[in-house]
Amino acid sequence: MLRRTHHRFFRKKLLHRITTQRRNFSEDVKESPKVVFSGIQPTGIPHLGNYLGAIKQWVDLQKEENEIYFSIVDLHALTIPHEEKICEKVLSMVATLLACGIDPKRSIVFKQSEIKEHVMLSWLLSCIVQQNTLKNMIQWKEKSKSTRNAANLGLFTYPVLQCADILLYKATHVPVGNDQTQHLELCQDIARKFNNRFGTFFPEPVTLIDENCTKILSLRDPFSKMSKSQGHELSRINLDDSDDQIWNKIKKAVTDNTSAVTYDPIRRPGVANLIQIHSSMTDLTVNEICSRSEEEGLDTGQYKMAVAEAVIDHIRPIRAEYEKLVGDREHLETVLSEGTTKAKETAQKNWNELRSMVGLT
């Protein structure tokens, strides 16, 4: 059980550290509101990597006057086998998003497979993108290597469907973790190609990445990322983990033989990962954490206690809210169907214009 420690100084209010890639959008979108789009697969309870890399940014983006779409991408989830029905996992993902602070009054939350225009646009875009480009996508290469070239066609065209998700809503900003950078580059490329060929329609969406949480690493193997599907149970902290489970996982996190708390992601990735997680859960910078740990004379073992405390304090209210919401099926279904109705309106309007632009009508 976690003991309360004197590391109170580690706790402060959250800071928003959203950064951008490719363009300084804070300057160029002041005049026009953003259309934000992101997606998450309904593949079980999100872990800390999903939360810090993506969901937390989504919550923060609601504080501005943006048009926001969050899609639970169940068609993407079909690319891998599932024991449980995917629609059940969709509902628990809705509960998780709401528990994390997604507000259905501010954001449109919907299920991808309810809107057939995603698939229509995906086909259209697949007639623009070259096969060779898809063959060179990192995630495809990894998947086909790990399945000895037996990966399914859905995995191959996965990024095209992702581009269709984004472009269907003419999204201008896409908040994701940095493992999605290449998919977003493809999306910018496809938007440009379409505009050149058929006339300007799509914005080239800006990728939003939280510079502090680009990649949360596995707690068991700090050379690979924290992942839902790979690695030991102890390698990830899930948003529904109990206080004791969180404490136990952080206590057992792989670090190294040096006892000082210093930030060196190359030589000390395990410790750096803990500092990164800690910094994201408080408003302390990496430097503040290191210098305060030094002042307190903490070794990495003692420091883990401070990290666990910060994570537990942050996750506890999310878990409590999730447990409350997940039993209320009716509410979750209402949120989804209201979101789907709103998203469908935009999707159909844009698709009708697109059909005419490419000569289908």
By CB under 6 A, residue 54 contacts ligand AMP: yes
Question: Does position 166 bind ligand TRP by CB under 6 A?
Answer: yes
Window of 81-89, 212-220, 304-312, 346-354 that interacts with ligand AMP by CB under 6 A: 212-220
3 state SS for the chain: CCCCCCHHHHCCCCCCCEEECCCCHHHHCCCCCCEEEEEECCCCCCEHHHHHHHHHHHHHHCCCCCEEEEEECHHHHCCCCCCCCHHHHHHHHHHHHHHHCCCCCCEEEEEHHHCCHHHHHHHHHHCCCCHHHHHCCHHHHHHHHHCCCCCCHHHHHHHHHHHHHHHHCCCCEEECCHHHHHHHHHHHHHHHHHHHHHCCCCCCCEEEEECCCCCCECCCCCCCECCCCCCCHHHCCECCCCHHHHHHHHHCCCCCCCCCCCCCCCCCHHHHHHHHHHHHHCCCCHHHHHHHHHHHCCCHHHHHHHHHHHHHHHHHHHHHHHHHHHCCHHHHHHHHHHHHHHHHHHHHHHHHHHHHHCCCC
226 binds, among ligand TRP, ligand AMP, none (CB under 5 to 8 A by kind): ligand AMP
Q: What whole-number distance in Å separates Cα of residue 66 and Cα of residue 316?
A: 28
60 interacts with ligand TRP by CB under 6 A: no
Shortest distance in whole angstroms from residue 227 CB to ligand AMP = 6
CB of 78 to ligand AMP, least distance (A): 13
Q: Identify which of 154, 165, 163 has the alpha carbon closest to the alpha carbon of residue 192.
A: 163
The number of beta carbons lying within 10 Å of the beta carbon of residue 289 is: 25
**Among 36, 37, 50, 169, which residue interacts with ligand AMP (rule: CB under 6 A)?**
50
Q: Which residues are catalytic?
A: 143, 225, 228
**Cβ closer to ligand AMP: 154 or 301?**
154
By CB under 6 A, residue 221 contacts ligand AMP: no
Q: Which does 166 bind (CB under 5 to 8 A by kind): ligand AMP, ligand TRP, none?
A: ligand TRP
Which of ligand TRP, ligand AMP, none sits in contact with 222, Cβ below 5 to 8 A by type?
none
Taking CB within 5 to 8 Å according to partner kind, which of ligand AMP, ligand TRP, none is near residue 268? none
Among 29, 41, 129, 170, binds ligand AMP (CB under 6 A): 41
Q: Pick from ligand AMP, ligand TRP, none: which does 37 bind, CB < 5 to 8 A by kind?
A: ligand TRP
Q: State which residue, 128 or 231, has the beta carbon closest to ligand AMP.
A: 231
Closest CA to 18 of 48, 56, 47: 56
Task: Between 157 and 293, name the residue whose CB sits nearer to ligand AMP.
Answer: 157
To 10 degrees, what angle do helices 286-296 and 269-281 make? 110
- Measured CA to CA, the distance from residue 51 to residue 216 in angstroms comes to 10
Residues that bind ligand AMP (rule: CB under 6 A) add up to a total of: 16
Task: Tell whether residue 41 is a contact of ligand TRP (CB under 6 A).
Answer: yes
* Binders of ligand TRP in range 61-120 (CB under 6 A): 73, 76
Alpha carbons 92 and 13: distance in angstroms, whole number: 28
Site membership for ligand AMP, residue 109 (CB under 6 A): no
Q: Which two tokens stand for residue 109?
A: 């939350």
Looking at the Cβ atoms of 40 and 335, the one nearer to ligand AMP is: 40
Which of residues 77, 176, 186, 308 is near ligand TRP by CB under 6 A?
176
Q: Which of ligand TRP, ligand AMP, none does residue 91 bind (CB under 5 to 8 Å by kind)?
A: none
Q: Which residue sits closest to ligand AMP, CB atoms considered?
A: 53
The site for ligand TRP, by CB under 6 A, has a size of: 14
Span of 31-39, 93-101, 123-131, 219-227 interacting with ligand TRP by CB under 6 A: 31-39
Q: Which residues bind ligand AMP (CB under 6 A)?
A: 40-41, 49-50, 53-54, 176-177, 179-180, 213, 215-216, 225-226, 228
Q: Which residues bind ligand TRP (CB under 6 A)?
A: 37-41, 73, 76, 162, 165-166, 174, 176, 180, 183
